[in-house]
């Protein structure tokens, strides 16, 4: 009986219906586009990536226990930003995602 109860948290975490709430991503969704771009530019720069001028930013959707956003910068630079439930952000160039077996970027047009 103890084993069955021990498996319940793992099953709930794996189920999309019981995904953990990501307050940081939810707050970002509520910001005006200009502020969203400022937040995402800071995330890109903090990860030592290039982004002198930021373009469109878009929420792409959940990925595992993260929320995925896309960020377009000048000179053709495009990034995926993965936001954790603890507020951490991992930024990866969109061109590298396939090799990392991550979802591809769907950049806004």
| Residue 90 DSSP SS3 | strand
Q: Give the C-alpha separation, 92 to 99, whole Å.
A: 11
Using one digit for the tens of pLDDT, what is the confidence trace for 73-101?
Answer: 999 999 999 999 999 999 999 999 999 99
Length of the chain: 109
> Measuring CA to CA, which residue among 73, 75, 84 is closest to residue 107?
73
The residues with which 80 forms a beta bridge, in sequence order, are 70, 92
The residues with which 67 forms a beta bridge, in sequence order, are 62, 83
Using one digit for the tens of pLDDT, what is the confidence trace for 10-54?
Answer: 444 444 555 689 999 999 999 999 999 999 999 999 999 999 999
């Amino acid at each position: 009986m103890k084993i069955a109860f021990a498996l319940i948290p793992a099953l709930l975490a794996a189920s999309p219906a019981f995904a953990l709430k990501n307050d940081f991503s939810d707050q970002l969704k509520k910001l005006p586009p200009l502020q969203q771009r400022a937040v995402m530019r800071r995330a890109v720069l903090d990860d030592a990536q290039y982004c002198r001028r930021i373009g469109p930013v878009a929420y792409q959707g959940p990925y595992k226990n993260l929320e995925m956003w896309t960020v377009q910068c000048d000179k053709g630079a495009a990034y995926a930003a993965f936001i954790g439930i603890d507020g951490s952000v991992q930024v990866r160039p969109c061109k590298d995602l396939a090799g990392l077996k991550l979802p591809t970027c769907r950049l806004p047009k």
